Each structure stands twice: as structure tokens, then as C-alpha cells.
Amino acid sequence: MSLIDISGNLLFIAFFAYIIGTVFIAGSIKRNDGAASRAEKWGKIGIVIAIIGFISQLGYFITRWIYAGHAPVSNMFEFTTAFGMFLVGAFILIYFMYRVTVLGLVALPIAVLFISYATMFPTEVTPLVPSLQSNWLTIHVVTAAIGQSILAISAVAGLVYLLKEVDPKTSSRERFWLEAILYFCVVVIGFVLVTITFRGMGYEAQFTYVNNNGMESEIVYNMPALFGMNESELKTEGVMEPLVEMPAIINAKKLTTVVWSFLVGTILYLLYRFIVRRPICELLHPLVKKVNSHLVDEIGYRSVLIGFPVFTLGALVFAMIWAQEAWGRYWGWDPKEVWALITWLFYAAYLHLRLSKGWEGRKSAWLALIGFAIIIFNLVFVNLVIAGLHSYA
Amino acid sequence: MEKISCVCGHENPFGTKICEKCGRPLSEEAKAQKVLDMRYDGTAIRSKTYNKSIIDKIWNFFSSVKVGVSLIIITLIASALGTIFPQEFYVQVATQEEKALYYKQNYGVFGELYYNLGLSDLYSSWWYQILVGLLGISIIVASLDRGLPLYKSLKNQRVKRHESFMKRQRIVAHGPVTEGDSSKTLDLIEEKMKNLRYKVRRDGNALLAEKNRFARSGPYINHLGLIIFLLGVMLRFLPGFHVDESMWIREGEVRAIPGMDGYFLENKQFILETYDNDPTRAQIEQGVAAIAKNYQTDVKLYKQAEGAVLGDTENMELVKEYSIRVNYPLKYDGYAIYQMDYRLNELKSMTFELTHKQSGESLGSMKIDLTNPEKEYVLGENTKVQILNYYPDFSGLKDGVPQTASQYPNNPAFVFKMMTPDKPEGEVSFVSIGASPIEAGENEYKMTFKGVETRNVSGLTIRKDVTIPILIIGGVIFLLGLAIGSYWNHRRLWVQQLEDGKIMLAAHTNKNWFSMKKDLDVVTEYAHLPQYIDQLEEKDEKDKEGDGAE
Ligand code: HEM
């Protein structure tokens, strides 16, 4: 077995460890009524499995680093998996500070989603273009990702807090948005499912189209084209023609992927609602019933306090040092840079609102979730849609 | 200004909420609170006290956290708007009209609107800069407004606080010791708290244990760092604080470095290397054939001799030989030279032969240096060729006149005048690549293209920025303050032993109550103190029960 195969297997082990860890942690909570000691044992086992998963993923990271000769944070697959790993790491760190197992119930599934999402992108090791061959870049990306994952724990705590505090039985604006977040997670699952399915079928449809410079180009779809590129012409036989054609300013291939994900996600969600007949937040509510809200709220604040300086160092300071070394200007208003600045400003606002305006509890939990949304936006949307210097895709 | 006198006799400055000396709540607001608002320890904050003159109003505006946060959010949204479409400096066209067209062509109506609203050059717009300026002012004012009084009050803390202060803390305990002799209790507390690295002061039957007071300075230090950083950024707009030039330099050339007076650079060679990997899936999807591995210019940096006149390239002194690569600029004397761009295989010279059309007989050949062509090439006795006109980047005819798109020899074209023994008065011919020559009449001779020589051109950027040390200082102070404020917390424990031996205690921390409680658990057990309660959590529990009863 070569190093890269070992690396892949370690990632696989980590992936399943996170799933099993989640199951144990969920089990520990269910049992809370009767056998307290057994519940505690289940929780402990859950944590141990999560730690094993983390170590295994660390093994993936290191072996891939050795194999590739550069830190495995240089494309969408690598960065997103690493983010999942740091998220679990941050969860373990916070666990040892506060001993609150229930956070794992949110943190581990998010890591699972991240890794699944990551493997939808090309997973091969890619050589580095000259601008990326820099130690400062590695330090910058790794520190920024660690900072983001610690900040993300505040969203994990926020979600736990809201699952407990928002009454799932009565309809309210808060319940609507909480359910919307959970629905969005289902859409991500939808994305993973459609991608895997069509990839398994080996679906391919080749088109020629006219891009916005008026040039003829080619593009390959890996799922049935719902939307066609500008003046597109199908070149493959026996596959679906696009339903609608899009103007040149819209990338119809990406739009197709997004719409497929929403379609499948929505069907999944509706199926769930049809069978269980309750919102997801109501299903999850009993799991977090025993949670000490004050403590979870404080964990949310604390993780922002811990993560903010790390994020500043990684995403702004080290980024500026790298930019200065590579381009001779520490700041270039590249979209990715601007979104790091936006994230930073947002968490600064969070801290001020909390400290001076007394925004604690629910308000602060919502802010933490918005902060996480900005981080995700930066990772997914800015990388894939608004291309810039940092774009991996 | 009038003073507020407390029951204890202490005269407090106007606006004080909690007596500086004994801690009794003074304002009506404070008296009504079950748990005191301990921000700034209840000292008089200028902005919360005066609101008469214009200056007060301006001061209050900028020191308001509401305003501060609003400014942060507005900056945030504005910054986000700038990322919808690429900014102008990423658009590779020269004129305003071309830019307008670019946005219209690529992004339709929205692109046009974006350009017309000025969002395409947002970050250098006056209003964006004013926004950042206001943010800076707000940080300064708010920090002075709160920082100074807070510093004063924390410096002059009394050990003994009044009961009404103690009771209104978030964490309180009141009761007899749970075990043993109560006369030893304060000693036990002191011992344990010192163990936990608290500083302990005692005053009769009262005790104050305090830890990490310096953590309160964190936000003020980080704000200071931020201001220094912003000042550094602003200085950059003044002329002379930074150099930002670029140059194209061909292999073999020696050129004066723009912006770096007295220095010359020689381009020995430019190297482009690519990986020889099998194309990956990502490469195939994007249609990228080969991935670049290295862009490199091997250079020699020269310094002009002392006292040499401008442009004098004699007696230059070699100061450095270096290979400039991406991420590895050549650094010298505060300047840095970066590898930014390149052009491969630029035409260097063209060789033509002067031949007789009919017989094909050659009268000799000439090599034209395309960056520096001669006026006249002598090929033999009574045989010479003049270059009447040279178009380095021929782009077609306009009203019958040849045009050149640039000064770069991308598509050279010439007007030759061929003088031969047969035709001493000369024949004129317009010669361009890939087209048959245009002649005034019917010529007997023609210029036959023989070959070219090419070379690479390297695009370099020269930068110097004297504001960088200021930015570094600001950044370091900012991070230091951030760490101090985030990773340390100011914790205090007030204890009093009452006449009957009972213990009353109260605790406060500016953040991280969890760890404060852990400290309290330790000392409670060690000194057998009555169990403390968290009044906020207790309140929540009560609210919940209330809900249930409804
Ligand atoms: C982007 C710019 C800013 C950054 C990064 C920043 C950063 C911080 C940080 C990290 C804290 C500590 C928060 C905590 O420990 O929970 C803080 C506190 C504070 N900031 Fe800012 N700040 C910024 C702008 C402002 C502005 C514009 C104001 C103006 C109102 C302001 C006023 C304050 C105040 C009053 C405090 C509380 C200080 C204390 O309680 O001792 N800040 N700031």
C-alpha cells in the first residue's frame, strides 16, 4: 500500500469514527432518565471514538503532506477536509475545558458533512503553482482554518442553545429559522447524494457553448443538465437536453448542481416530514433538554474569545505577510481577502454587542450562527463562484 | 461640578453609579438592580454623564458602542458589496469607456448599474475611506471615554465593600462556615487564594482577592494597536512614503530601475518551468494542459558609481546577483523587486535579404534589431536599405496610414527604401508579416524574410513601503492587546466576616464565569465556606418555574 492509499484509508476511518461517535453521544443523552452512570459511560465512549477519529485524520493529513511535499490545504478537497478535522479538534479542546459532551452531537455531524462535501471535488494531489509555494501561505491557511473552526464551535454551542431554548411546539420566527438551518443541512446531504449517484452511473454530457467573450468553449456536465450554457449544443448522444438555456453571465453548470441539490434535499426533507410528522428541531429538542443553557451560552462566547485572536493572526496578519512576500502588497482587495475582513468585522461586532449591549443568550446564539454562515460562504461561495487569487476551483 | 456624596461620607464625581469607596449603589438605576451592572465598575463615564454642549454631543456620538457597532456593520456590508463583481483594478483594460463596456458585457444590466454607482472602485472611494476614518475616531473616543475612569477606579479599590454592593453581585454567599473554627476562615481563604495566584489584601474583617487586573487593559491596548495600524495605512497615501513601479526587461538588457534611483538591473535570463505530471481531473475539467512550476528571472543588480550623472552606466558596481522568483523577491536597501509577469519569445531581431525579384540574386542580408532599428543598413557599394518607417506592433491601415498598437515588437512592419546600383534613386516597399509587400510602383527588388531571433521578457515590480514598520508595530500591539483581553480574565473575590462569625462573600469576573466558579469551588471546600449561588442562573430557574405555573 502506498502512502497516499494509507492516507485515504485513515480519512475513511476518521469519517466513520465521527459517525459512530455521534451515535454514542446521542445514546448517552437518551438514557439520561434512568441509568445515569451508563449514560456517562456512553458519552465517554463517544468522546474516545471522536478522539480516535481525530488522530486518524491527523494521520491522513500528515501522510498526505509527506506524499505531496506540501501541506494538504491547497485545493477545495484538502481545505474542506482539514476544516472538518480542525472542527473536531476544537470540539475536543472545548470538551476538555468544559466537559460538555452534547456539543459533539452537533460538531461531529458537521465534520461528517464537511468531509462528504469535500470528497465531491477532485481528490488527487495537485502540484502547486509558484504563488502557492510559500511557507507563509501554509502557515496562513492552517492558522486561519484553526481560527475559523474555533469560531465555529460558538455556532455549535449556539445551535444547541437554540434547540433547547426555542419551543419546538409553537410556531415562531425563531423556530422557522432554526428549522431552515436544519433543512439546509439536508440540502447538503442532497448534494452529496446526487453527486455520488450520477458519478456512480458515470453520467457525462458534453456541450459546446458561447462564453461571454463570444468565444466557443466546451463543458462537461456530470449530472443531467437542467440549465444549459449560453447557446449550448449537446455533443453526447442519449442524454438529456437542457430544460432552459441561461445567458452567458450565468454559469449554468453550477446552477444545475445547486438546483439538483435543492431538489433532492427538499424531497428528502418532505419524506422525513411525511414519515415523522414533526419538524427536525422538535425531534432534536429532547436530546438537549438537560443542557445547562448558561454554560452553553458561555462556551459560545468563550470560543469566540479564543478563536478571534487566532483568526486575526491567521486570516489577516499571516495573510498580509504572505501577500507582501508574494506580490509586494500586503492587501489587494481580493474577494477572499475581503470576506476574511468581513468575518473579522462581524465577530468584532459580536464581541461588542455582547460586552456592551448585553446581547447574551438567544441573540448571541443567532449571531454565532450568522458568523458561521459567513465562514461557510467564504469557503464555498467565494471559492466556487466569485473567483479570485485564492480560488481553488 | 457637583459631587455625589454617599452615605459613607465619600464624595464621588458626578455620574458615579457605584460609590468608589464602599460600593453602595448611588444611581436610582443601580439601586433597582438585583445584580449590579459592573461594567467600568460603576464609575462616571463622560459620555453617560454630560450631554449639553455640542462637544458633549459629538463625544457621546462617537463613544457610543451602538454607533461603533453600526459603523462596523456598515463597513462590513459596504465591503461585501465590493465583491459582487470584480473591482476595476482587476479588469485588464485601459480606458474608462472600455471599463464601462466590460461591466456591461460581462454582467449585463447589473454590471452597468454596478459601474455607474461607483461600486466597481469601492475601496478607494471617498465614502469608504471616510467610513473607516469614522471607525477610527469612534475607537479613539470610546477608549478614552471608558478607559481612563476604569483605570482610576481599579487603581483605588477598597478592600471593604458595603453589604448592598456585595448582595448585588452575580455570585454571592452568605452563611456560617460549614465546619471548624470560623476565626481561621479568613486566613484559610487568604492561603488558598494566594495558592491560586490571587493577590490578597485584608482590611480588618474584610478580604479582597484579585487576579489578572491587567486583563482589563486588553481592549484598550488592542484599540491602540488598531489606531496605529490605521495611521500607518493613511500615511501611505502621502507622497514619498511608498514606491510602486513596474518594468519590463528583456533578456540581456541592462535598465535603470524605475523608482530606485542610481540602480540598474541586468536580466541574464528568464526561466519558465512546468510540471511534467499526468493531467489531474481538475486540470482536465478546466482544460489546463500544464501547471506552472516556476517563474524566475536571473538578475544582476548594479549601483551607479558615486557622483555619476543620471543614466551613466559606466563603472557600475555589482551589488547583488539573485534569482527572483514568485514568493522570493530580491530585497535590497528597503526595496523589493518582485516577479510579476513575463512574455515568452518576444521578437528580438529579423533578418531580411535584399533580392532581385526576377533572378532571385541576393545583394546581401541585414539583421534588424527590433527594439532599436538602424536608420540605414549598408549592404555593399551603392547598395543600402533605409527604414523610412517602423511599426513595431502593426495593427492595420487607417485611412491608408499604417498603425501600431504598441511599442512592443509583436507584429513588426516596415517601410523600406532599397537603393541598388540598378535603382540608385531607390524603391519603396511596405513589408509586414504574412502579407505580400505593398509597393508604390512595380519594384525590381524585394526584401525577403529570412528568419527571426526571439528572447523572453520579464515583468518586474519594484516596491518600497516605509509605512510597513508602523503597520508591524500596530499589528503586534493589536494582537498583544487581543490576547491579554481574551486569554486572561480579571477575577475578584470580596469576603467579609460578620460580627456573628458568619461569612458574606461576593465574586466578580469580567468574563469566563465558569473558571471563576472553579476557583470558588476550591476555596469553598478548603475554607468550609457557605455554598455560593449564581443569582443570574437562579433568576432563570425562577422564571422557568413561573412559566410552568401559568
Ligand atoms: C474593527 C474594529 C474593532 C475591533 C477589532 C475591536 C476589538 C475589541 C475587542 C476584541 C474588545 C474586547 C471584547 C471582549 O473582550 O469581549 C473590544 C472592546 C471594546 N470596544 Fe472595540 N474594537 C473595534 C472597534 C470599536 C469601536 C468602533 C468602538 C466604539 C464604540 C469600540 C469600543 C469598545 C469598547 C467600549 C469596548 C469595551 C471595553 C471594556 O469593556 O473595557 N470598539 N474591542
Residue range A290-330, pLDDT digits in tens: 888 889 999 999 999 999 999 999 999 999 999 888 888 88
pLDDT reading at A388 higher than 70 = no
Minimum-distance CB partner of A338 among B83, B511, B512: B83
Range of weakest confidence among B83-97, B154-168, B495-509, B512-526: B83-97
- pLDDT tens digit sequence for B105-141: 778 788 888 888 888 888 888 888 899 999 999 999 9
pLDDT digits (tens, 9 = 90+) for B279-326: 766 666 666 667 788 888 998 888 887 776 666 667 788 888 899 988
* Strand partners of residue B174: B504
> CB pairs below 8 Å between A and B: how many?
142
CA of B158: how far to CAs of A23, A247, B153, in Å? 54, 73, 10
pLDDT in tens, B330-346: 998 888 899 888 888 88
Q: Is B302 exposed, middle or buried (0-12, 13-18, 19+ CB in 10 A)?
A: buried
Is residue B550 very low, low, confident or very high in pLDDT (cuts 50, 70, 90)?
very low
Ligand 1 centroid – CA B223 distance (Å): 7
Residue type, B223: H
C-alpha angle with apex A142: B229 to A84, nearest 5 degrees?
Answer: 130
What confidence score (pLDDT) does residue A319 get?
92
Residue B461 Cα to ligand 1 middle (Å): 38
Q: What is the pTM of this model?
A: 0.87
Listed by start position, the domains of chain A span 3-168+279-384, 191-278
Counting ligand 1 atoms within 8 A of each CB, the residue from B139, B214, B511 with the most, and so the one to mutate, is B139
- Judged against a pLDDT cut of 50, whether residue A390 lies above it is answered with no
Name which residue sits closest to atom 6 of ligand 1, judged by CA: A348
pLDDT at B284: 64
What's the confidence (pLDDT) of residue B181?
Answer: 79
| Alpha-carbon span B70 to B131, nearest angstrom | 11
Per-residue CA distances from A291 to A32, A101, A294, A297 (Å): 11, 10, 9, 10
- Alpha-carbon distance B344 to B456, whole Å? 5
Closest to A219 in 3D by CA, of A168, A259, A254? A254
Relative to beta strand B242-250, strand B254-256 is unpaired
Per-residue pLDDT at A250: 73
3-state secondary structure chain A: CCHHHHHHHHHHHHHHHHHHHHHHHHHHHHCCCCCHHHHHHHHHHHHHHHHHHHHHHHHHHHHHHHHHCCCCCCCHHHHHHHHHHHHHHHHHHHHHHHCCHHHHHHHHHHHHHHHHHHCCCCCCCCCCCHHHCCHHHHHHHHHHHHHHHHHHHHHHHHHHHHHHHCCCCCCCHHHHHHHHHHHHHHHHHHHHHHHHHHHHHCCCEEEEEECCCCCEEEEEECCCCCEECCCCEECCCCCCCCCEECCCCCCHHHHHHHHHHHHHHHHHHHHHHHHHCCCHHHHHHHHHCCCCHHHHHHHHHHHHHHHHHHHHHHHHHHHHHHHHHHHCCCCCCCHHHHHHHHHHHHHHHHHHHHHHHCCCCHHHHHHHHHHHHHHHHHHHHHHHCCCCCCCCC
Least trusted range by pLDDT, from A30-34, A282-286, A340-344, B441-445 = A30-34
Rounded CA gap, A195 and A261, in Å? Answer: 9
* Residue pLDDT, tens place only, B213-240: 999 999 999 999 999 999 998 888 787 7
The percentage of chain A sitting over the pLDDT mark of 70, rounded to a whole number, equals 94
d(CA B263, CA B247): 13
Interatomic CA distance for residues B285 and B146, integer angstroms: 57
Q: Which of B46, B58, B65, B490 to mutate to test the pocket of ligand 1 (most atoms within 8 A of CB)?
A: B65
A346 contact residues in B (CB cutoff 8 A): 76
CA distance A42 to A287: 14
pLDDT score recorded for residue B423:
84
In one-letter notation, the amino acid at residue A121 is F
Position B527 pLDDT exceeds 90 = no
Within 8 A by CB and 6+ apart from A144, the residues are A311, A314, A315, A318, A319, A340
The predicted pLDDT at position A366 comes to: 94
Q: What are A188's three cell numbers?
A: 447538503
The overall average pLDDT reported for chain B is 84
Residues of chain B found within 8 Å of residue A212, distances taken between Cβ atoms:
105-106
User: Quick one: DSSP state of residue B393?
Assistant: B
Sign of CA dihedral A52, A36, A162, B76: negative
Cα gap B224→B229, rounded to integer Å: 9
Q: Specify the pLDDT at position B287.
A: 60
- Atom 8 of ligand 1: nearest residue by CA position: B219
Q: How far is CA A380 from CA A117, A279, B295, in A?
A: 10, 27, 30
Cβ density class B352-390: b for 16+ within 10 Å, e for less? bbbbeeeeeeebebbbbebbebeeebebeeebbbebeeb
Residues with CB under 6 A from ligand 1: A 345, 348, 351-352, 355-356; B 65, 68, 71-72, 135, 138-139, 142, 146, 219, 222-223, 226, 482, 485
Cβ-nearest to B76 among A247, A298, A345: A345
The pLDDT-based confidence of A60 (bands split at 50, 70, 90) is very high
Between CA B68 and CA B46 the distance in angstroms is: 16
Q: How far is CA B129 from the centre of its chain?
A: 14
Is residue A121 very low, low, confident or very high in pLDDT (cuts 50, 70, 90)?
Answer: confident
A122 contacts B280? CB cut-off 8 A: yes
Task: Provide, rounded to the nearest whole percent, the portion of chain B with pLDDT above 90.
Answer: 18
**Pairwise CB contact (< 8 Å): A306 & B463:** no
Is the pLDDT confidence value at B507 over 70?
yes
Q: Are B502 and B176 in contact (CB under 8 A)?
A: yes
| Contact assessment for residue B127 and residue B117, using Cβ atoms and an 8 Å cutoff | no
CA-based nearest residue to A115, from A107, A103, A104: A107
Flag whether residue B24 sits within 8 Å of chain A, measured between CB atoms: no
Cα separation of B44 and B46, whole Å? 6
Q: Are A100 and A169 in contact (CB under 8 A)?
A: no
| Between B339 and B96, residue with greater pLDDT | B339
pLDDT (0 to 100) of residue A153: 95
Q: pLDDT for A40-59, tens place per residue?
A: 788 889 999 999 999 999 99
Tell me whether A247 touches chain B (CB under 8 Å).
yes
Which pLDDT tens digit goes with each residue over B342-376? Answer: 888 888 889 998 888 888 888 888 999 888 888 88
| The C-alpha cell that represents B130 in the structure block | 471616510
Is 60 exceeded by the pLDDT of residue B548? no
Contact: B486, A309; criterion CB under 8 Å: yes
pLDDT of residue B547: 45
pLDDT of A393 = 33
Judge whether residue A392 has pLDDT over 50: no
Separation in Å, CA A14 to CA A41, A85, A105, B80, B322: 21, 9, 16, 36, 46
pLDDT band at B433 (very low <50, low <70, confident <90, very high): confident
Predicted confidence (pLDDT) per residue in A164-198, tens digit: 888 888 888 899 999 999 999 899 889 888 888 88
Question: Residue A391 pLDDT more than 50?
Answer: no
Q: Is B114 helix (H, G, I), strand (E, B) or coil?
A: helix
pLDDT of residue B288: 64
* CA gap B36, B33 in Å, rounded: 6
State whether B72 and A352 contact (CB < 8 Å).
Answer: yes
What is the ipTM for the molecules in this complex? 0.89
DSSP state of B408: S
Atom of ligand 1 nearest to the CA of B63: 30
pLDDT (average), residues B34-45: 78
Long-range contacts of range A192-199, CB-CB < 8 Å, 24 or more positions apart? A192/A113, A192/A116, A192/A117, A192/A120, A193/A264, A193/A268, A194/A223, A194/A257, A194/A260, A194/A261, A194/A264, A195/A120, A195/A222, A195/A223, A195/A257, A196/A120, A198/A222, A198/A223, A198/A224
Distance CA B465, CA B472 (A): 12
Contact B446, B357 (CB under 8 A): yes
SS3 B458: strand
The pLDDT of residue B436: 80
Q: What is the mean pLDDT of residues B488-502?
A: 88
What's B2-40 look like in SS3? Answer: CEEECCCCCEEECCCCECCCCCCECCHHHHHCCCCCCHH
Chain A nearest CA to B208, separation (Å): 25
- Domain B166-212+489-549 matching CATH 3.30.1330.10: the answer reads no
Q: Any chain A CB within 8 A of the CB of B39?
A: yes
- Whether A308 has its CB under 8 Å from any CB of chain B: the answer is yes
B512·A220 Cβ contact <8 A: no
State how far the Cα of A1 lies from the Cα of A206, in Å rounded to an integer.
Answer: 36
pLDDT of residue A35: 61
Residue in A347, A362, A343 with CA at minimum distance from that of residue A157: A362
**Hey, is B388 helix, strand or coil?**
strand
Whether B218 and chain A come into contact, CB under 8 Å, resolves to no
Give me the pLDDT at residue B485, please. Answer: 93
Q: How confident is the model at residue B1, as a pLDDT?
A: 58
Chain B residue nearest residue A300, CA to CA: B512
B486/A218 touch (CB, cutoff 8 Å), yes or no: no
Judge: A313–B479 Cβ closer than 8 Å, yes or no: yes
Rounded average pLDDT over A28-51? 77
B39, B65, B291 ranked by CB distance to A127: nearest: B291
Q: What percent of chain A is modeled with pLDDT above 90?
A: 42
Dihedral, CA atoms, A299, A300, A305, A310, nearest 10 degrees?
100
pLDDT of amino acid B303: 87
